[in-house]
Amino acid sequence: MSEINLELNSIVMRFGGNQAVDHVSFSVVEPQLIGMIGPNGAGKTTLTNVMSGMLKPTNGTIYLNGRRIDGHPPYDVVRAGLGRTFQITRALGRMTVMENMLVPGLAIRPRARQADIEARAHEILDLLTIDHLTNELSRALSGGQRKLLELGRLLMLDPAVIILDEPFAGVHPRLQETIYSYIHRVHEDGKAIILISHNMGAVFELSQRLIVLNNGALIADGEPQAVKSDPAVIEAYLGEDE
C-alpha cells in the first residue's frame, strides 16, 4: 500500500475578477473513496486542474506525501503520485491503444523493460475488457471504450491518489459496471480516489466521504449521510430562499 498524505491549504484560483476556487482546504490521509459534488460551476474541474498541475493556484499550497506540488507541471505532480482523468476524454487519437498505455508506462519507468510494461498493460486492458483493442488506433474507439482506456492509462502510472472527473458521463450502463468494479479494485489496492460525478446514485453508493463545493467554496466535508442532511448543501442544490 502506498503512502497517502494529500493536503490542500486554502487554495484560491482567480480568473480576473472571477473567483473559481475560494479558500478550499481539505486533506486525504487514508485510502478513502471520496465523492466530490457540487452544482454546475461550483469549481470541481478547476480544483482538479489546480491539483493536477494544469493550473497554478493564485494562492494556497498543496502537499503530497511531504512534497509541495502546487504550481508544479502535471508530469511532476503525476510522479509525486497524483493522477487524473479528464471530463472529456483525451485519447492520443492516432496512436494505438497499446501505445496509449506505453506512454505513461515508459514515462515514469524509463529503465523498465518494455516487455514488462507491455505485460502490465495487457493485464490492465484485460481487466477493463478492452484487451482485444490493443492494436486499434484509439480514435477508432467508442466513447465508453475511451473512458476505459483513460482509466487504464492512469493505472500504468500507479498513483497514490486518483481523481476521476465524470467517469460515468455518457457511458453505457453495462460499461459503467466495469468502471464500478475498476473503482472498487483500485480502492482495494490501497489508493485514494476522488470521484467527481453528477451521477448522485453512483456517488452516494461508492463514497465513504463527501466533499461539497458551491461557488468555489467548500461547504461540506464528511460522511455521506451527514452531508446529505446538511442545510448548506440542501440550500446549494435547491437554491437560496429569497
Partner 1 sequence: MGLLLRIEEAVDAGIGRRRLGYALLALIVVYFLWFPNDTTQSNYAKTVFISGFFYAIMSSSWALLAGIAGQFSFGHMAFMGIGAYVAGLAARDGFAFLTPESVSSVGAIFIGTLVAGLVGLVIGWLLLRLRSAYLALFTIAFSELFRIVMLTEYDYTGGSNGLSLRPLLQIADVDTARQVEYYLMFALLIVCLLALYWVANSPVGLFLRAMREDEDAASALGVNVVRYKILVFVFTSMIVGLAGGIFYSDIGSERIIPEQLEILQMSLIIAYAVIGGMESLIGAAAGAFIARYLLEATREVVITLPFGLTMADGADAFVWEPGAWRYALFGLVMVLTLRFMRNGLLYPIITWFSGRDIVMKETVAKRESDEDHAARLEAGDE
* Contact residues for partner 1, defined by CB under 8 A: 52-54, 73-75, 78-79, 83-84, 86, 90-95, 99, 102-104, 106-108, 110, 114, 129, 132-136, 140, 142-145, 153, 157, 171-175, 178
| Minimum distance of partner 1 from residue 77's CB (angstroms) | 9
CA separation for the pair 121, 222 (Å, rounded): 36
CA separation for the pair 92, 112 (Å, rounded): 22
Place of cell 487519437: 93
Nearest to partner 1 of 24, 80 (CB atom): 80
| Minimum distance of partner 1 from residue 15's CB (angstroms) | 17
**DSSP 8-class letter at 167:** T
| Minimum distance of partner 1 from residue 179's CB (angstroms) | 12
CA separation for the pair 146, 148 (Å, rounded): 5
Nearest to 108 by CA among 52, 167, 153, 138: 153
| Minimum distance of partner 1 from residue 10's CB (angstroms) | 25
Nearest to partner 1 of 40, 174 (CB atom): 174
Nearest to partner 1 of 93, 222 (CB atom): 93
Nearest to partner 1 of 89, 214 (CB atom): 89
**DSSP 8-class letter at 215:** T
Helix (H) or strand (E) holding 84: strand 82-84
Nearest to 183 by CA among 213, 198, 205: 205
How many residues would you count in the chain? Answer: 242
Nearest to partner 1 of 41, 73 (CB atom): 73
Nearest to partner 1 of 94, 240 (CB atom): 94
**DSSP 8-class letter at 199:** -
| Minimum distance of partner 1 from residue 150's CB (angstroms) | 9
| Minimum distance of partner 1 from residue 88's CB (angstroms) | 11
